[in-house]
A and B are shown apart, each in its own frame.
Chain A
Amino acid sequence: MTGREVVDLIKKNVGVPWNEQSTRDTFKVGNPDSTVKGIATTMMVTFGMLKRAHEAGLNMVISHEDTYWNDRDDTKDLTSNALYKTKTDYILKNDMIVWRMHDHMHSMHPDYTVVGELRSVGIKGGENADMRPGVFTIPETTLGEFASQVKRISGFRASRCVGDPKAKIGKILVGPGYATPRMTPEADVVIGGEQQEADGSFDNVEYVADAASLGIAKGLIMLGHVVSEQAGMEDMVKWLGTFVKGIPIQFVPAEEPFWT
């Protein structure tokens, strides 16, 4: 089976109309007509992840995020960049194929990035969640306790929190990656991947910090972009296995990049 044939099967099985206008969900590098020996799913096609996929004998990478460090994978300013050359040469030399699956994952039912995120942070009942799953109710606890629990269950190292750790909370609003939801009157805590810190369409950080200063119980937990959605690519392996037969399919996680 070729990379192109794998993608054709995905388009047939995705369950939503395929948007051929998507600039994200396309082949990024490699020959789509190369034979696929194995498929690696990942949140982000980092150089480290590429090496691990190659060593595992998986030459097709299905990545939720970009390859060349910008959302549009625009490479016109990178043609003389040494890292661009090194990464591209590695992919081509090893006959690897990179294809991105972003926009359609978020319109699928369920949205595996959200399903995975809810599982990662220990919130139950998100097995069929779509991209905007609404508010989840958990047994009342404090923001500090809840943040500790999220850290313990997820294992994420570099998450950042805002708000009063003593605030009583129980209503959780979750969004994947950069689609961190804005705080609403119905929610106590927003959990997201990342978001512009200030001067954006809605600045959760300032809002939650101000709520805390005013004695209004609100919290924000920013998990990190890649780790927030990453578990969804494990679910993607199972889903792919229902219609891509006879090829090994594995989840090859991207590394959490941070130390603190």
Chain B
Amino acid sequence: MNRRRFTVLAGAAAIPLPGAAAPTAQDVVQRIQATLGGEWPVTGPDGFKVGDPSTPVKGIATTAMATVDVLKQASKAGMNLVLTYEPTFFGRQDGQVSQSARGRGFGGVAQDDPVYKAKREFIEKNGLVVFRLHDHWQARKENDMVSGLAESLGWNKYRVKPDDVLYDIPAATAEETVGLIRNKLNLRGGLRAVGDRGARVRRVMLHPGAMTPALMWQRYSEVDLLVAGEVREWENTFYAADIYTAGEKRGLVTIGRVVSEDPGMRACAGWLKTVVKELPVQWIPAGDLYWRAV
């Protein structure tokens, strides 16, 4: 343990969480930060996004994305601290005013935007506090984003190596396996698959979130089916399409970024119960936000 981490932990031990007074959001977050360790720069993505950190916490909700729908459910269930993996305010800037507009279109959201305003008002009126927990949750060596997804699919026991992302599942066709994924994750319209429907699937790679082309080039030939949150179509998707044309029976299925991250935040709720024992913790999935036209 390095000196910095020791200091953080020692500091954490001194934070009072007396039984009489409910801990504030700030208290809870400090305990999470101390347990996870690492640096928490104010400029990083993780941090308070909206709500008053001095609010006494009645319960904690975890989710892949703090949508209005998730926030309504959290409020109803009495969970007033929401830990979200993805942004709350529609992008990486997460409600911060942009200093420099870059990229395609301008980033961020206008402070008088009607959806932004209504969402913020709902949060404040209901005394909710939203904290983004992304980088530090993903960086844990256990990486429960992967094992959480495997658990939702019923595949945890098929993991090939504890520190890897491959699973040897009972053999089935690609179409059957995709059907199983759709059912287990309650998918609506976000799933898209590439490759041979009839291909025999045994070895599967799980990659929640977004996948880079480099990782796909490196690992795709090891697996029968790659399950990813999202990829860039003109990069990874057509790599899979070209391999299919070349005659290899592998498949790629993208299920949606947020949907792929929901199970990892259920794992986060399980972990939180061991860290913040005195408060109720509930997982509220954001779910599949897409539908398909009929």
Contact = CB atoms under 8 A, between A and B. Distances in A.
B189 A161 contact: yes
A194 B113 CA distance: 23
A121 to B, nearest CB: 11
A255 interface: yes
Interface string B87-113: 100111100000000111111110001
A159 interface: yes
Interface string B21-43: 00000000000000000000000
A185 B113 contact: yes
Most buried by A among B107, B236, B237, B293: B293
Contacts of A254: 238
B91 A65 contact: no
A93 to B, nearest CB: 14
A213 B242 contact: no
Given A150-B293, A206-B67, A201 B114 contact: no
Contacts of B189: 160-161
Nearest to A199: B92
A119 B108 CA distance: 31
Contacts of A257: 194, 233, 237-238, 240-241
Interface stretch (B144-152, B157-165, B213-221): B213-221
Contact of B210 (A178, A196, A205): A196
Which of A70, A81, A150, A162 has the most chain B CB within a 10 Å cutoff?
A70
Contacts of B115: 207, 210-211, 214, 216, 218
B46 interface: no
B230 A197 contact: yes
Interface residues of B, number: 65
A69 B292 contact: no
Given A202-B91, A202-B109, A259-B197, A70 B235 contact: yes
Interface string B282-294: 0000000111111
A182 B290 CA distance: 17
A86 B290 contact: no
A47 B87 contact: no
B215 to A, nearest CB: 11
B249 interface: no
A199 B290 contact: no
Given A182-B105, A202-B108, A207 B90 contact: yes
A260 B236 CA distance: 17
B91 A165 contact: no
Contacts of B221: 82
Contact of B233 (A182, A210, A226): A226
A144 B289 contact: no
B4 interface: no
A178 B107 contact: no
Interface of B: 45, 65, 67-69, 72, 86-87, 90-93, 102-109, 113-115, 118-119, 122, 134, 189-194, 197, 210, 213-214, 216-217, 221, 229-230, 232-243, 245-246, 256-258, 289-294
Interface residues of A, number: 66
Nearest to B240: A257
Contacts of A203: 86-87, 90-91
30 contacts: A46-B238, A46-B242, A71-B232, A83-B242, A83-B246, A144-B294, A148-B293, A151-B294, A160-B190, A160-B292, A162-B290, A177-B234, A182-B105, A197-B210, A198-B257, A199-B45, A201-B104, A202-B90, A202-B91, A203-B91, A204-B90, A207-B90, A207-B109, A214-B118, A255-B241, A257-B237, A258-B192, A259-B194, A260-B191, A260-B193
Given A69-B239, A83-B242, 13 more contacts: A46-B242, A66-B235, A69-B213, A81-B217, A159-B292, A178-B234, A200-B92, A203-B87, A206-B86, A209-B67, A221-B293, A225-B232, A258-B194
A219 to B, nearest CB: 11
Contacts of A82: 221
Contact of A214 (B65, B119, B191, B193): B119
Nearest to A209: B289
B234 A71 contact: yes
A198 B87 contact: yes
